[in-house]
Amino acid sequence: MAQFENPVLPGSHPDPSVCRAGSDYYLVTSTFEYFPGLPIHHSRDLVHWRLLGHVLDRPSQLPLHGVRASGGLYAPTIRHHEGVFYVVCTLVGGTGKSGNFVVTATDPAGEWSEPRWLPEADGFDPSLFFDDTGRAWWTGTREVPGGTAGQTEVWLREFDAERLELIGDEHVLWTGALRDSVWLEAPHLYKVDGRYLLLCAEGGTDFEHSVVVATADDVTGPYRGSPLNPLLTHRHLGRDHPIAAVGHADLVCTQEDQWFAVLLATRPYGGYYYNLGRETFLVPVSWEAGGPVFSPGTGRVEARYEVPALPAHPWPEAGPTDDFDGPVLDPAWLFLRTPDEVFWSLTDRPGHLRLQVRPESITDLVTPSLVVRPQRHQDFHASCEVEFEAAGPTEWAGLVLLQNNDHHVRLLLGAGREVVLVRRTVGHDELLATTRLPEGVVRLCFEATGQETRALVAGAAEEWRLLGEPFDGRVLSTQAAGGFTGVHIGLYVTGDVVPGSSWADFGSFTHRSLDD
């Protein structure tokens, strides 16, 4: 029997939510401080996914200015009902609008509406449930007033799907499966065989993460936790297990009446460190005694499973190299926070990505001249070709491994053809190595084997050569840097110049596994 490999979405794709519309499946994940927000992936077999675009791709939809690292968009939910797609989400820590909102579309690949902000919706991690009674319901999580740190509760109100507003009375549904539990969150409601199932995460999003459920005869409760809770967790497997921190699940039933869950998990390496962040996994689900059984037979998330009983539908795969030969950026590229101005071009010099030199820096909570995409492999190669003539000592252009503003590594070309390798940890820069390269095209590269990371440089016609000594990549892990995102690899320019007077041209970018 054919098998698929987990994760189905490698790299930083946390908090997955999935829905089915006929024979099509759509999935969204959190994006935090990155723009555009909430990538929407499409599949017809739950295994192969293609990126359609983003739910929030207009600056008017997503005010991320000044948002802290790992602030921004948390835990979206996508649902489809009577020809309309709904996405609900929370913007955390916004300097302008913040809180919960809903957007809609009739075509998930098309234009999504402006957000309808819901100030009456407390907390975070919202979800929608469309009952077969014709009513719709909003669930969310909030901290218990006066409770201990991390003590939360799941609440519910009716949702008017036409006016996009909450109506009726509020009901507190559940406070968690375990005594003294923390961070009961990510609530999703379903109706199976006439009973209501409340599926939640519990224990936080790291090693203690888990999946728990409660059931009720009425949508407003009372809900009773399953005696089998937690239904899924890896915390009992130890920190050496190759898959950890499983949780934040969402269920989907195929047109063949098979059930699956998408969920997040991590893949630690080099010890309990995960640089790729939280990734999206797919797990089969069966039902016993009215409750879900995750990964029947093993009870843990596996690296491989039999493929769903659906026609295989792989999509054409993009190669590992972007030659920037299209009129617009590939949707896989992201900006750090919402750009107020266009500082990039693919038409000023066809076949190149031109980034304008601007004073904004990745060390600050701003939108620098930077484009990034998630690291997808543990053992990886990431490289670029760049042409840049710095006009002064503050101007730099090149390649970065970005965890956040205080934890990243920069490999940059500057004035006098100097190339520097700079590591930033806990907000402090350390110059690791420097060299000079000849005029013309410069090639810059990071390669990692496990957590051993190397910087490589070369002129256009030269062989790669090592710059400095290999360094420990664990400085870029969540355990070292904090936060909720994985490493993003990007192209970056900065400098104190008159805006528009200087630029760097990137001829290509490659990101691939070292096994390829």
Tell me the residue ranges of DSSP E strands in 24-174. Answer: 24-28, 34-35, 37-43, 50-56, 72-81, 84-92, 99-105, 116-117, 124-130, 136-143, 152-160, 165-174
Q: Tokens 């590594």 — which residue? A: 409
Whether 185 is catalytic is yes
Q: Per the residue annotation, which of 15, 250, 387, 447 is the catalytic one?
A: 15
**pLDDT for residue 149:** 92
**pLDDT for residue 479:** 96
DSSP state of 144: P
Q: Tokens 């790299």 — which residue? A: 11
Rounded Cα gap, residues 295 and 172, in angstroms: 30
**pLDDT for residue 500:** 66
**pLDDT for residue 110:** 86
pTM above 0.95, yes or no: yes
**pLDDT for residue 516:** 79
> Does an H or E element contain 301, and which?
none
**pLDDT for residue 461:** 86
**pLDDT for residue 124:** 97
Tell me the residue ranges of DSSP E strands in 106-146. Answer: 116-117, 124-130, 136-143
Whether 193 is catalytic is no
* 398 touches 492 (CB < 8 A): yes
Phi and psi torsions of 478, nearest 5°: -60, -35
End-to-end Cα separation, the chain, in angstroms: 25
Q: Tokens 């590229």 — which residue? A: 333
Mean pLDDT in each 10-residue stretch from start to end of the chain (516 residues)?
Answer: 96 98 98 98 98 98 96 98 98 93 96 97 97 97 92 98 98 96 97 97 97 98 97 98 98 97 98 98 96 97 98 95 96 97 97 97 98 98 97 95 98 97 98 96 98 97 96 97 97 86 95 93
**pLDDT for residue 96:** 87
Q: Per the residue annotation, which of 185, 250, 322, 505 is the catalytic one?
A: 185
**pLDDT for residue 171:** 98
Single out the residue of 113, 127, 117, 179 nearest to residue 155, CA to CA: 127
Single out the residue of 49, 107, 37, 25 nearest to residue 75, CA to CA: 37
Rounded Cα gap, residues 237 and 243, in angstroms: 9
- Supply the DSSP string of 331-356, one letter for each residue: TT-BEES--SS--EESSSSTTSEEEE
